[in-house]
Amino acid sequence: NGAAAAVASWLAAVAVTILESDALSLLPRLVRYEARHAGEVYEHHRGIWGMLVCPVVFLIVGLFWQDVHSSRKAFVDRYCIHQTDPELKKAGIRGIAGFLRHSERLVVLWTTSYFERLWCSYEMASWIYLGKSNVYFMPVSVAALTTTMTLGLFVHSWLSTLYQSLADTVPQALVILSGWTFCILVATAARGHICELGQLPSQLAQFSVQRTQCFCCSNGHINPVTKEALTCDRKLV
């Protein structure tokens, strides 16, 4: 939904700019600031509606665009396979190959533990066995990096805008601090993302299906909450 959300927010920005223009002036310009030129002081007014509307439009379209436009359906193993009923779980695991055969692409939400999990390895092996190659590789750390960049830039832009009109209320030190905080958070998220990707070649080189883990075997085939016996996923796979 990213492309649709970007286009929608861009169109919202264009619409807000037109509504704030001098020709229409349908939206008031709430931010006032002064500028100096050739010794003269000029008062300017700036609108903030784009900073309010565009992020909201991007978020709404990004979350719900598939309900309006797309008829695609996704098979998510953890939510589509029953996790407590042994018979339904067995049927679900045996049907994974069928779901994969009728799927257009495999989306890998990758973390450093991906190739250590039995189910993930089984699904990837089945996908390759079926002769399919359309794999969309998406590290989960990208979401943290993108979220940090978006929220940090939004907060810093808001503080900078408020400082221009409310210099007596919003101290400059706060604006500078938000900028430095934004840079540090983005650098930290980017470093974590790069470090995780750096582990991928060694994980693939040292991969062994015998060393993969599953929830049942890791807990001694006993549900840690209900204390009931668990069917071994490894045997089913």
- Torsion sign over Cα 215, 221, 224, 226: positive
pTM of the model: 0.68
Residue 37: helix, strand or coil by DSSP? Answer: strand
Query: Per the structure block, which two tokens stand in for 31?
Result: 């931010």
Query: Per the structure block, which two tokens stand in for 220?
Result: 């001694």
219 backbone dihedrals φ, ψ, rounded to 5°: -110, 20
CB hemisphere CA count around 42 (13 angstroms): 8
d(CA 146, CA 194): 14
CB hemisphere CA count around 223 (13 angstroms): 11
pLDDT values of the chain reduced to their tens digit, one per residue, 237 residues: 778 888 998 999 899 888 888 777 787 776 666 666 666 766 666 677 777 788 888 888 888 887 777 667 788 887 888 877 778 888 888 888 888 888 989 999 899 888 888 888 888 888 989 888 889 988 988 888 888 888 887 777 777 766 666 655 667 777 788 788 888 888 888 999 999 999 888 888 888 888 888 888 888 888 888 888 887 888 877
